[in-house]
Amino acid sequence: MNLPLILSGAAGRMGREIAALARADAALELVVALDAPGSPALGSPLVDVEHRAGPPVVTELGAWDPATAPAGAVVIDFSSPKGLAASARKLLATRPLPLVTGTTGLGAEEERLLAELAARAPVLHSPNMSLGVAATRAAAALLARALGPGFDVEIAEIHHTAKKDAPSGTALALARSVLEARGEVSAPVFDRTTRGRPRERGGVGVAALRGGAVVGEHTVYFLGEDERVDLTHRAVSRRVFARGALRAAAWLAGRAAGAYSIDDVLG
């Protein structure tokens, strides 16, 4: 039996990547394509990154009724914080379908809605769906524990010019992995230009760069007195995130209500 998919943010870059891979997989069926009000794609068959136009027709998110979704359907959301909040409210009010989302830049309200939905349905939120990034987070935690407090840790990330949030959700997740491995409770440092003092021991600095068409690059620097270790992950195509999202959707189908991450999918 095919897994029915409802894709929110369908006409965006990630949405079109997911659509292309879903159409190539006989075990998946893209049944609903949703996009934001005012999207030029509304009312037309969804065009994927392979420039193939086909069903479903792109529908405005506000007009979609979750009660009409086929049995076993999973929602995949790569829209925006506002779009994700609208999807979560619809699911809470109508029918709590399983939700996979890689949408980043979430605020307290979006986090609250996801937590509320996770009490009623399986919800998987990861700022980065890449298998390589999941392994990088684990490696960063391992290095943080092994190298100890004698090494300062700084993270730099680079993304394309169109990315709106900074720093990236992946950079923040990497920082959390390091801080938790060291037993530190401090928040990452985003801007040292106003601090007016030498770098203190502990903590993690995060720097964001934007330019060109960079899909995503993250480097964790472990800086010692006489040596350093650089841990880098580079994504060369958005397909890596699309594959991860589809794998997560297949894994999430039929799960119990709760909050999950890509780490759960990978075991």
Same-domain check for residues 104 and 168: no
Same-domain check for residues 10 and 119: yes
Same-domain check for residues 110 and 192: no
User: What pLDDT sits at residue 195?
Assistant: 82
User: What pLDDT sits at residue 266?
Assistant: 78
Same-domain check for residues 57 and 143: no
Q: Which CATH number characterizes residue 201's domain?
A: 3.30.360.10
User: What's the number of domains the chain is made of?
Assistant: 2
Judge whether 159 counts as a catalytic residue.
yes
Same-domain check for residues 9 and 113: yes
Judge whether 163 counts as a catalytic residue.
yes
Token readout for 50 is 């392979």
Same-domain check for residues 176 and 147: yes
**Model pLDDT for residues 202-219, shown as the tens digit of each residue:** 999 999 999 999 999 999
Same-domain check for residues 121 and 247: yes
Task: Provide the 10 A C-beta neighbour count for residue 55.
Answer: 12
Q: Which of 51, 82, 125, 159 is catalytic?
A: 159
Q: Which of 163, 164, 218, 233 is catalytic?
A: 163
Domain housing 11 = 3-125+239-266
Same-domain check for residues 197 and 249: no
Collapsing DSSP to helix, strand or coil, 50 comes out as coil
Angle at 96 between CA 92 and CA 100, to 5 degrees: 105
Same-domain check for residues 9 and 99: yes
Same-domain check for residues 89 and 181: no
**Model pLDDT for residues 121-135, shown as the tens digit of each residue:** 999 999 888 888 988
Same-domain check for residues 181 and 221: yes
Token readout for 115 is 């937590």
**Model pLDDT for residues 157-177, shown as the tens digit of each residue:** 999 999 988 999 899 999 999
Spell out where 146-257 has E strands.
Answer: 152-159, 204-210, 216-223, 228-235
Same-domain check for residues 37 and 99: yes
**pLDDT tier at 1, thresholds 50, 70, 90:** low
Q: Which CATH number characterizes residue 247's domain?
A: 3.40.50.720
